[in-house]
Chains A and B, each alone.
Chain A
Amino acid sequence: MTRARINQLEVEVPEGTSILDAARKVQVNIPTLCKHKDLLPTAACGLCIVRNQGSNKLIRACCTPLENNMQITTHDREIVEVRRSTLELILSNHPQACLTCGRNGECELQARAADFNIPLEAIKRYVKDVPADRSTGSIILEFQKCIKCGRCIQVCQEVQNVWALSFLDRGINTRMAPAGDITLAESPCVKCGQCSAHCPTGAIVENDETPLVWEALHDPEKICVVQIAPSVRVTVGEAFGLPPGANLTRKLYAALRRLGFRAVFDTNFSADLTIVEEASEFIQRFVHRRGALPLITSCCPSWTDFMEKRHYDFIDNFSTAKSPQQMLGVLAKTYYAQKLGLDPAKMFVVSIMPCTAKKYELSRTEEMYASSFKDVDVALTTRELARMLKQSGIDFLNLADGKADSMLGDYSGAGTIFGVTGGVMEAALRTACFYATGKKLESLELDSVRGLEGVKEGTVMVDGTAVRVAVAHGLANVEQVLDRVRAARKNGQEPPYHFIEVMACPGGCIGGGGQPYGVDNERRKLRIAGLYQDDRDATVRYSHENPEVVRVYEDFLGKPLGPRAHELLHTQYTARPLYKR
């Protein structure tokens, strides 16, 4: 332990704790724009300077570990003056277009500027005219708003191992951009949006598609339906000041209906459907030895994109089952439309997703048009939904509970935990075990695949046979899992795992790139707890027992992996170049 004083206050913290974190222990907030709790300090912004008694230099609190007997001053006249000047400098290199910015009201730079009450153009503004990059349709890079804190680059390179973003040039020309004057769409970007979730300003934002949705909602010809992803229910409250993890499923149903959607579906339903298909695939491969093992989950579009670009030697291992978003979309425009006698051409399917990559998934391959139409028309992130709710004047938190529409609205506890890392694995094993043995798992909740550990491994006994599973989240963690499989493959050995779940974002979808801002592990844990609680509260906890899932097979799809299921619910993969140019 290290003992020192910060602003005269005694503080004791574990060795290696930064001054910044130690100060929080004694209720002292040192401002910073570059340090993010998820990430290593980059020491870029220069706001967190503090003074150690006896030293002439100011030191950075973010990256200096507290040492025994230090006497730190975090605020004195000079420090505050320097901080103010530094902030003025940062603002002088920023468009200061707050009112029309995607981060308006939620921007860390704006908040600091407000704290210091910085006047407009305290220092003459210089902003280089660089057009925004809108190439991906998922994420927009507003280069002008970038303060070069380096968070996005660290996330993209270190946490996600994607290496789409990089620092280019130097000095005043330093910029965050894809390598070598290409657009983001031409880069290895997988659209996970973690960069946008970590950006302190509006430099990286989701592509706001709410206008498309408003237009459809206002179009009397259109039949608008909507689905909400598993994780959205426990995160959307944060945009309205609720703590993370608060489950707002029923309020969301009500609110979406008020927005004007003719039907409100739940992606949890199609998550159950995905499980039924995927578990069937697993049984086919594991029990009947038809197809490659390990089976790898494919419901995360960023992961799919990443695999197609960097790990396409695993194409055969990928589950061909579509993601819940796409399954629901296609069923809405076929099954639901037929049952209600609606014209699918007039249907407009909106999905509310935790994720920026889901926007990309909508047109990923031709199979995303299995209904003969675009199966899902628009995918909105949680943040966009919150914006719509606020615009619409709906007093969201005080709404009476609503209900989802039947046919595509009921869900099991297994479906809801799709939103957390390990959840798909857990849900799939619940059903697969039943398929294999006709019996249920002894212990329903698989602790070995729960939690925020980057790679989780476990063995589940299914009727005396060990099923070895691995769960990875955060794309940088994927490599080690795949490399183990590759090594076994090369040596002609039994694969180390039978089933692998991968989610691109740390924590799974609850930590998705489209979720409300300010994510860190504390928040992730609360959000996760919210979903596990939803599972525990569910009356049905097995996907195959979801009555509406049972009915859709009886009435429409036939058997899992059957011809119709195959036509509508499955997709395929192809190797893609890392760089399009």
Chain B
Amino acid sequence: MARMKFLCDAERCIECNACVTACKNEHEVPWGINRRRVVTIRDGEPGERSISMACMHCTDPPCAAVCPVDCFYQTAEGVVLHNKDLCIGCGYCFYACPFGAPQFPQTTNFGGRGKMDKCTFCAGGPEADGSPEEFQKYGRNRLAEGKLPLCAEMCSTRALMAGDGDVLADIYKERVVRRGYGSGAHGWATAYASRNRGDALAPGRVGTGGS
């Protein structure tokens, strides 16, 4: 069974926002909700790097640990999904998430944030696969159609990759060896740490070079 992950190669990401727009287009995500975003560090300075960030679908998701109504669940492929019918919009998951993934349609001070929304790895939600109800609440279910998340599929420079973690790690390793540098896959240590111990070239480890 594949273990689905995201990997963003900061040496390739050019902040073109194809991933962000593809996500909006595919799921009809409304204005103001950002399931995916591109973050740039050292903007305009030597060393500027960008990475595309969304829910990383952690191995041990902290959002699920803090949710008071237990609306999160993980699929057999490791995708972290949630049930909007259960969500009470408390926002705890937002505080727990190391990646700032959970999004809320409203911004009031006390409750009433509305149902949380986040990246589904294009895997929908608890409703029947491909049903209108599922689309309305979570967007399309590409995984059920045998397709991968559209953000990664459309990435202009193949910086953002989605798929089985082992395959991604192999692709990334090959790239780092070929080009002789790599700044690490941001977030891997945080999201999937337990799986990577002892592998010096694994994405997310410090010491893989970097330029």
The answer to whether A binds B is no
